[in-house]
Amino acid sequence: MAPPLVALLVFADPSTAPAGSSMPPRRHVVKISGMAFQPAVLQVAPGDTVVWINQDIVPHTASAAGSDGWDTGILVQGDSSRYVPRRSGDTPYICRLHPTMRGGLTVTGRPR
């Protein structure tokens, strides 16, 4: 019996798409809420867009550690900032104002 269509949609993995196929860029949202990045670790493809949205009362940043150097700047409640990674790699990041807040961005796969 053929699996239900909905199951095919949920479990279709873009990384298994045939070579030469062109996947449109995706938009990923990281909520900053309760003094945490949600999700704390995010995996995206080069060319995808990552959007951080601060829902906390206090200001935050999402700031790359290491040589990548990307930084959202200070986001007050309701602010958002986006970043489009172009190179593969793992980048840990923090909130510069609250260094106990940590996140990770993994860029992997075929560019979109």
Q: Is 39 in the site for other proteins (CB under 8 A)?
A: no
Helix (H, G, I), strand (E, B) or coil at 14: helix
Please, which residues bridge with residue 75 across strands? 60
Identify which of residues 12 and 57 has a Cβ nearer to other proteins in the complex: 57
Q: Of residues 36, 44, 45, 64, which one binds other proteins by CB under 8 A? A: 36
Laid out side by side, the sheet with 80-83 consists of 36-38, 27-33, 49-54, 80-83
The pair of three-digit structure tokens given for residue 87, joined into one six-digit string? 């190179």
Counting residues that bind other proteins (by CB under 8 A) gives 14
Q: Of residues 39, 58, 89, 108, which one binds other proteins by CB under 8 A? A: 58
Q: Is 100 in the site for other proteins (CB under 8 A)?
A: yes
